Amino acid sequence: MPENKANNYFETIITREGYSMKAVLERQTLDVLIQIIGGDVPHYGVVMTIDNAGHTTVTSLPSRPGHVHQEQVLINPVAKAIAPVLQGNAVIVSGMHVNNITPNQMKAALGMANELGERLATWLTDHPSQQPEVNFAK
């Protein structure tokens, strides 16, 4: 059966206060991988997993000596929005850096993350996947 890319991939972007934040979702069967990236230096700094029971685990990677990335603040609203509509597990990876960020840009980031989470949840609801037949060794 050919892959239906429309049901396995989604990308959306929001621009406010002079910078953009993008969400990229790729699905493998019932599981999703989501990237929340943007700003002047997109990267991977924080990883969150959500299992099919809704439990989360977060890993913040080093950003510079003595510091770790802080993008969990962006992942949390996304996770909250998508958790009720997940069919399987999710991995969310985020990294955003805006050079010389202003207070208004920082304030906009949370609203942007909330909106991305809502868009992702809507897409997941509108594009459900089907459980494939899975067989295990005996």
In a domain, 2, yes or no: no
Domain assignment present for residue 11? The answer is no
Number of domains in the chain: 1
Whole-number pLDDT of residue 7 = 81
Residue 71 is predicted with a pLDDT of 93
pLDDT value at position 4? Answer: 53
In angstroms, rounded to a whole number, what is the distance separating the alpha carbons of residues 120 and 126? 10
- 91 falls within a domain: yes
Does residue 14 fall inside a structural domain?
Answer: no
Q: Which residues make Cβ contacts (< 8 Å) with residue 70, sequence separation at least 6?
A: 45, 46, 60, 63
Asked if the structure places residue 63 within a domain, the reply is yes
pTM for the structure as a whole: 0.92
Q: Is residue 5 part of a domain?
A: no
Where does the pLDDT of residue 5 fall: very low under 50, low under 70, confident under 90, or very high at 90 and above?
A: low
Higher pLDDT among residues 82 and 131, named by residue: 82
Is residue 3's pLDDT more than 60? no
Which residue range is the domain that position 95 belongs to?
A: 20-125
Has residue 132 got a pLDDT over 90? no
The rounded mean pLDDT for the chain is 94
Confidence (pLDDT) at 2: 41
Say which CATH number the domain at 112 has. Answer: 3.30.230
Answer whether residue 138 is part of any domain: no
Task: Establish if 99 belongs to a structural domain.
Answer: yes
Radius of gyration of the chain (CA): 16
Give residue-wise pLDDT tens across range 6-51.
789 999 999 999 999 999 999 999 999 999 999 999 999 999 999 9
What is the H or E stretch that residue 76 is in?
Answer: helix 72-82
* Per-residue confidence (pLDDT) for residue 38, from 0 to 100: 96
68 to each of 1, 11, 112, 124, how far by Cα in Å? 44, 27, 22, 31
The stretch 58-84 carries a mean pLDDT of 95
